[in-house]
Amino acid sequence: MPQDIHVGSPVWVEVPQLAWTGGVVTSVNENEVEVEISDEKKVTTKLSKLHPRDVEAPAGGVDDMTKLSYLHEPAVLYNLAIRYGMKEIYTYCGNILIAINPFQALSHLYDLKLMDSYKGAQLGDRRPHVFAITDVAYRAMITEGKSNSILVSGESGAGKTETTKLIMRYLAYLGGNATAEGQTVERKVLESNPVLEAFGNAKTVRNNNSSRFGKFVEIQFDRRGQISGAAIRTYLLEKSRVCQISDPERNYHCFYLLCAAPREEIERYKLGDPKTFHYLNQSSCYDLVGVDDARDYIKTKKAMDIVGISEDEQDAIFRIVAAILHLGNIAFAKGEEGDSSMLQNDKAKFHLQMTADLLMCDLEALETTLCKRKVVTPEEVIKKSLDPSAAAINRDGLAKTLYSRLFDWLVKKINISIGQDPDSKCLIGVLDIYGFESFKTSR
pLDDT digits (tens, 9 = 90+) for 286-327: 999 999 999 999 999 999 999 999 999 999 999 999 999 999
DSSP string computed for 162-190:
HHHHHHHHHHHHHH--TT--SS-HHHHHH
pLDDT, tens digit (0-9, with 9 covering 90-100), for 151-174: 999 888 889 999 999 999 999 999
Catalytic site includes residue 27: no
Catalytic site includes residue 156: yes
Angle at 314 between CA 309 and CA 317, to 5 degrees: 115
Give me the catalytic one of 61, 157, 175, 328: 157
pLDDT, tens digit (0-9, with 9 covering 90-100), for 68-105: 999 999 999 999 999 999 999 999 999 999 999 998 88
Whether the CB-CB separation of 151 and 134 falls below 8 Å is answered with no
pLDDT at 254 over 60: yes
pLDDT at 234 over 70: yes
Given this structure, which CATH class describes domain 10-52?
A: mainly beta
Whether the CB-CB separation of 169 and 383 falls below 8 Å is answered with no
pLDDT, tens digit (0-9, with 9 covering 90-100), for 113-165: 999 999 999 999 999 999 999 999 999 999 999 999 999 998 888 899 999 99
pLDDT at 262 over 50: yes
Catalytic site includes residue 157: yes
The overall average pLDDT reported for the chain is: 93
Q: Is 264 known as a binding-site position? A: no
Residue-level pLDDT at 104: 86
Residue-level pLDDT at 183: 79
CATH topology of domain 325-403: Four Helix Bundle (Hemerythrin (Met), subunit A) (1.20.120)
Torsion sign (Cα): 278, 280, 295, 287: positive
Residue-level pLDDT at 442: 47
Full-model pTM: 0.90
More confident of the two residues 176 and 443: 176
Q: Which amino acid is at 224?
A: R
Parallel, antiparallel, or unpaired for β 32-36 and 42-46? antiparallel
Residue-level pLDDT at 19: 87
Give the whole-angstrom CA distance, residue 419 versus residue 217: 13
Q: Is 161 known as a binding-site position? A: yes
Domain ranges, ordered by start, for the chain:
10-52, 105-307+405-432, 325-403
CATH architecture of 105-307+405-432: 3-Layer(aba) Sandwich (3.40)
Expressed in angstroms, the distance from the first to the final Cα of the chain is 35
Q: Is 175 known as a binding-site position? A: no
Catalytic site includes residue 211: yes
More confident of the two residues 28 and 436: 28
pLDDT, tens digit (0-9, with 9 covering 90-100), for 4-61: 789 999 999 998 877 899 999 999 998 899 999 987 789 999 998 999 999 999 999 9
Rounded to the nearest angstrom, the gap between the alpha carbon of residue 258 and the centroid of all alpha carbons in its chain is 21
pLDDT at 395 over 90: yes
Q: How confident is the model at residue 434 (pLDDT cuts 50, 70, 90)?
A: low
Catalytic site includes residue 238: no
Whether the CB-CB separation of 22 and 11 falls below 8 Å is answered with yes
Q: Is 328 known as a binding-site position? A: no
